[in-house]
Amino acid sequence: MATKQEFKFASATCGFKKTKKPDLAIIYSDIPCTYSGVFTTNQIHAACIDTNKGLLKKRKKIKAIVINSGNANACTGKKGINAVKETQESTANLLKIKPDEVLIASTGGIGIHLDMAKMRKGLEKAVVNLNANNLKAAAKAILTTDRFVKIVTRKTKDFNLAGFTKGAGMIYPNMATMLCFFMTDLNVSQDLLQHALNISINESFNNISVDGDMSTNDMVILISNRQNKKEIKSKDDPAYRNFQNILNQSCIKLAKEIVIDGEGAKKLINVLVGGARTKNDAKEIARSISNSTLFKCAIFGSDPNWGRAVSRIGWAGVKIDPAKVDLFLNNTQVYKKGSPVEFNKVKLNRQIKKSKEVKVTVNLNLGDKSASAFGCDLSYEYVKFNSAYFS
């Protein structure tokens, strides 16, 4: 039996997905939770984004998050806005809470009206099954084109942390077609919780790429029931620094799993840029390489075509000295101080072919700052899948 201190989860099948798999998840807390969030920067976005951002701005405490998959409820006009309100109201009635204590998230096809009769029936089925042991079931219910469930859990003496995410396509730096939800009992203010989340997002989900597209529904939510006895009042508190570190690790783990799970992906591309003047310079170049369609195709073909990566360094809009740039594929240097290096192309081709992860290491030789980004190869399967996604 779940205690009041525990987060509870549930899933149900509404029929939003053609596969008839579970497509509704609920996260619930008996105790009002401090809420932080980061959202898509796409100006065309789903109504739930505006609703959740509004509650965040008002510093509302929340008790429930409702997530449906199989329908993004985006670009659906007034009907979409009303669907969000109706979902909040139905959930509130069933859980005996207030509508503004409910966050809403949706993922799936764009431009399709949400069937509210199916939503209401799904909510009715889900709420009776809320249980602390249903985390995996909830994580599974929010998947769309994902091939596997993505979950992380961590425990320390000062806090517990659990989170799950979805995402496999329409992935680009600065959020992606992804939803992510974290729950913790860290006893901390909303401002400090938001600060931690912002930093973690910039180290993880803002640095991934599958196909260079940005979604209408992206969000990462972090809530805390603040039930740990130790209260955190400062960024300098060792417990807070530990929370930041573990949240960073957790976000990076889930972000990498999104890229590994990229539609049709076979290989992870791990880009590390060092020797930069600033961290932001390093990040922009790492993102540029990880998002190169041509380089993604080369890696799919196990082709050590380093020129496609080098060209993206200069394309990134960062001031560099081309005569100082070094580049390695895996551990093989292919470019040194602005000139090509002789290497065994056949050997490197075989090495890339056998690898599930290809490392791209860049040294700008201009400073001591570094940053990473993650991408994946682009395969025939990606094109085949996305050629018929809507129909």
Work out the end-to-end distance of the chain between its first and last CA atoms, rounded to an integer number of angstroms: 43
Contact criterion met (CB below 8 Å) for 142 and 38 = no
pTM score: 0.82
Do 286 and 367 have their domain in common? yes
How far, in Å, are 23, 209, 260, 297 from residue 384 at the CA level?
A: 24, 19, 18, 15
Looking at the domain assignment, is residue 3 inside a domain? no
Do 312 and 348 have their domain in common? yes
- CATH number of 336's domain: 3.10.20.340
Looking at the domain assignment, is residue 13 inside a domain? yes
Q: Answer yes or no: is pLDDT of 215 > 80.
A: no
Q: The domain containing residue 146 runs over which residues?
A: 8-260
Asked if 40 is an active-site residue, the reply is: no
Contact criterion met (CB below 8 Å) for 232 and 193 = no
Among 211, 237, 260, residue at a domain's last position = 260
Among 222, 240, 260, residue at a domain's last position = 260
Looking at the domain assignment, is residue 282 inside a domain? yes
How far, in Å, are 261, 321, 372 from residue 169 at the CA level?
A: 8, 35, 20
pLDDT band per the 50, 70, 90 thresholds, residue 388: low
pLDDT band per the 50, 70, 90 thresholds, residue 1: very low
Average per-residue pLDDT for the chain = 90
Looking at the domain assignment, is residue 2 inside a domain? no
Of these residues, 13, 177, 216, 361, which one is catalytic? 177
Q: Answer yes or no: is pLDDT of 377 > 60.
A: yes
Quick: pLDDT tens for 285-310. 998 998 888 898 899 899 999 999 99
pLDDT band per the 50, 70, 90 thresholds, residue 235: very high
Do 228 and 272 have their domain in common? no
Which position has the higher pLDDT, 144 or 111?
111
Number of domains, the chain? 2
Among 208, 230, 260, residue at a domain's last position = 260
Which single residue is written with the structure tokens 């889900």?
126
Q: What is the pLDDT of residue 204?
A: 86
Do 136 and 226 have their domain in common? yes
Do 272 and 241 have their domain in common? no
- CATH number of 249's domain: 3.60.70.12
Do 170 and 44 have their domain in common? yes
Average pLDDT over residues 358-374: 96
pLDDT band per the 50, 70, 90 thresholds, residue 313: very high
Looking at the domain assignment, is residue 219 inside a domain? yes
Do 60 and 127 have their domain in common? yes
Contact criterion met (CB below 8 Å) for 41 and 214 = yes
C-alpha span between 175 and 287 (Å, rounded)? 12
Do 276 and 347 have their domain in common? yes
Do 308 and 372 have their domain in common? yes
C-alpha span between 150 and 262 (Å, rounded)? 13
Q: What is the pLDDT of residue 391?
A: 45
Quick: pLDDT tens for 136-186. 999 999 998 778 899 999 999 999 999 999 875 444 445 545 799 999 999
| DSSP string covering 177-220 | S-EEEEEE--EE-HHHHHHHHHHHHHHTGGGEESSS---SS-EE
Percent of the chain having pLDDT more than 70? 91
Do 23 and 111 have their domain in common? yes
pLDDT band per the 50, 70, 90 thresholds, residue 362: very high
Percent of the chain having pLDDT more than 90? 73
Which position has the higher pLDDT, 178 or 201?
201
Looking at the domain assignment, is residue 1 inside a domain? no
Do 249 and 284 have their domain in common? no
Do 363 and 229 have their domain in common? no
Looking at the domain assignment, is residue 240 inside a domain? yes
